[in-house]
Amino acid sequence: MAARELGERLARNHLGLVYGGASIGLMGAVADAVLDGGGEAIGVIPNSLKDKEIAHPGLTDLRVVKDMHSRKALMTDLADGFIALPGGIGTLEELFEIWTWANLDLHRKPCLLLNVEGYYDDLLKFFDTMNAAGFLKNRGRDMLKSVDSVDQALSTLEEALHANN
């Protein structure tokens, strides 16, 4: 499972995790693996979702904020880069916002799609369609990197982090 592998590798490489703070789903699995590997996992969850998303009880740090906007703003401030695993509408919403912020030069942090088993292939094709139609400039399109494996995700992330320092 890519989620567990990502968490294990983050811990092994001494890279902390900043995420939405839930104990369930793929991100809960990433957090569990980070913690099992002795790594740091910081969760950021709105008060209204603490029970619904089942806040992770074992995190290094769980920050409870007032709303979703505060959640995303704080996660952006705390994180050095972003990796989106396969997910649903919430994953896409967070991905698009962080990618938009990069495109607006509000941050210069790497944005990656971990395209496990081609999960995001159709979305990537759509981005190419947007680009060809002139709605997505090359610069913006290039800000979102797609990788097929945890190895590629971590090497791309570390390359970008070293280039930004």
pLDDT in tens, 90-138: 999 999 999 999 999 999 999 999 999 999 999 999 999 999 999 999 9
In this prediction, residue 162 carries a pLDDT of 82
CA 43 vs CA 32, 79, 157, 165: distances in Å: 12, 11, 20, 25
Q: pLDDT-based confidence at 53, cuts 50/70/90? A: low
Domain ranges of the chain: 1-79, 81-165
For 109, list phi and psi in degrees, rounded to 5.
Answer: -95, 145
Asked whether residue 61 carries a pLDDT value surpassing 80, the answer given is yes
pLDDT in tens, 76-103: 999 999 999 999 999 999 999 999 999 9
In this prediction, residue 32 carries a pLDDT of 97
Domain 1-79: CATH class, spelled out: alpha beta
Q: Contact, 120 vs 128, CB < 8 A? A: no
Q: What three-state secondary structure class fits 46?
A: strand
Helix (H) or strand (E) holding 19: strand 17-19
Looking at CATH, the fold of the domain delimited by 81-165 is given as Rossmann fold (3.40.50)
